[in-house]
Amino acid sequence: MNPCTSGLWSPQTLLPVQKRQVSSDGTRKLLLGLDDGQSVETVIMSMPKAHTLCLSTQVGCPVGCTFCRTGRSGFVRNLTPDELLAQIRTAGRELHAATGRWPERAVFMGMGEPLLNFRTLLRGLEMLTTARDPHLSWRKILVSTVGIPDRLEELGRSRLALPAISLHAPDQALRDRIMPGASRWPLSELLPVLRRYPLPGRERITVEYILIEGLNDSDGQAEQVFELLAGVRAKVNLIPCNPVPGSPHASPAPQRIEGFARRLRELGLTAFVRRSLGPDILASCGQLRGEESRPPGNASGSATREEQTT
């Protein structure tokens, strides 16, 4: 792909890079400044088969997952469509400067719950998939979400990306403990939507499951996950819990991780263990925070429900 001077990867309307960290594995984490003094973090992953952008949709996050630095720091506001597009451009050009390549994949797995900033998300997806210059197939874009049923149905109709569902527990009670903000959208409402989600060809829904030592990692809980996902065309992405300062959660031992994965496979589910990228710069799943430029008066991250669900 040749460098572009216009369109999606235009050098115009970029966000200032306030801080740049490069991991020993080549992962890059950018702290990007916004006009109001807030900031977001973006991760760029260079792997042999794909170069991937991990993008944020909100400053902070209202869901409050107990294993996640972003959730623990609270919610401030949604990104605007212009801010999201500038983030994509900035990360894409950073990748190109480092590798000579434009991204082949994008995942909305950074800060925030993407479906709570839905119109902005759709604008970003449209730009990524329909740009005249090098663009991405919608099959190469994942939107990670706790699962908001009506927004999921609209995402399915748009055919602009594939969903990745943050499950993390095999039953409602434990999920409420781990992901208190997701209790507004119970599994009893989410699972029927996943069972009828429009998936072309051999595509499947990615189900994300962070393994936490002694909390959700037993063989019995693997069997519950299998039962819960009955009728869903799914593949399970197992994520060993990454260390987060101040969190009581820890990753299970490697043999327990593999035991959980093996039990899912024995039951007939496709299950993978995700390799963490950039752990030495806190760039892995659950480790983003982006608080460095937050004004002291906004540290609590308060916001109205209307602001959270634009």
Under a CB-based contact definition with an 8 Å cutoff, are residues 294 and 75 in contact? no
Q: Which of 68, 241, 285, 291 is catalytic?
A: 285
At position 102, the amino acid (one-letter code) is W
What is the β-pairing status of strands 205-211 and 162-166? parallel
- CB neighbour class for 40 (10 Å; exposed up to 12, middle 13-18, buried from 19): buried
Q: Is 285 a catalytic residue?
A: yes
Distance of alpha carbon 21 from alpha carbon 307, whole angstroms = 31
Q: Is 68 a catalytic residue?
A: no
Q: Which of 4, 41, 54, 68 is catalytic?
A: 41
What is the β-pairing status of strands 28-33 and 17-22? antiparallel
Under a CB-based contact definition with an 8 Å cutoff, are residues 33 and 23 in contact? no
Sheet holding 105-108, edge to edge: 17-22, 28-33, 39-46, 51-54, 105-108, 141-145, 162-166, 205-211, 234-240, 270-273
Question: Which residues have a catalytic role annotated?
Answer: 41, 285
